Amino acid sequence: MLKKFFAKNEEDSVDTSVFDNLKTLEDKILYSFKNKDLLLTALKHRSFISQTIQERIDSNERLEFLGDSVLNFIVVKHLYKTYPDLDEGELSKMKSVIVSGENLSLIAREMNLGEHILLSEYEERAGGRDKSSILEDTFEAIIGAVYLDSGILKSEKIIKVLVLEDIKKALENTLTRNYKSELLELVQSNGLEPPTYEVISEEGPEHEKVFTVKAIVDGKEVSQGSSTSKKRAEQEASRKALENLDLLSN
């Protein structure tokens, strides 16, 4: 059954090394597929199917689409339960770090995923095995394949080991980044007075207040930020101010 993935016609030979590599890959992701066809599909880049007379739909793109959603759900669930004191803005920033193409391609490189991907000869010569976009998409396709093979609990277990186990440093960097200091440095480098912050609203009961703060640069409001504390609201306003000022400078 698996030969259909490789044979251009009945007379074509099958590269048996691909079958050997499957076990190595399964060892890396700590999961053995019941349906090996799912893993093979997850490894098929669209360039590969063009030389094996298959349809575009036979590539790993549908599995990548599914895996992306599974990964996002598991990561959000993990962050929500692990950091009960953070608001949705901070959780969103953390999630963006974890599921970013940069992070996923880094994970894929560390497990040498590129050596298992099925590519056309042209794409391989063009360095496809180390392209971040291909590595990211294939990694997500594997997550989608695991989900179809064994469901959400097994997918969550694998994601926790491969993605969530070693993210503490990256998340700490995200949480401890001082946007107020960065904004101060930026405006002073342009000869302006230090930015000021003003609370414009307080909403909710005393134990669940949400503060909204505006950041003022050169006498003008440049952004607003909301959070459950004034300090975090100022940080959020500063973060948005940096984005807005960067856009204005382009």
> Which residues make Cβ contacts (< 8 Å) with residue 109, sequence separation at least 6?
130, 135
For the chain, helix, strand, coil in percent to 5 are 65, 10, 25
Q: What is the dihedral of CA 69, 131, 161, 144, to 10 degrees?
A: 30
Written as six digits, the tokens of 27 are 């060892």
Q: Give yes or no: 68 in active site.
A: yes
Written as six digits, the tokens of 225 are 């930020």
Contact predicate 129/121, CB 8 Å = no
Marked catalytic residue, from 90, 137, 140, 149: 140
Written as six digits, the tokens of 222 are 């440049």
Q: Give yes or no: 246 in active site.
A: no
> Which residues make Cβ contacts (< 8 Å) with residue 152, sequence separation at least 6?
70, 74
Q: What is the dihedral of CA 64, 144, 172, 112, to 10 degrees?
A: -80
Marked catalytic residue, from 68, 137, 149, 236: 68
Strands across the sheet containing 220-227: 196-203, 210-217, 220-227
Q: Which residues are catalytic?
A: 68, 140
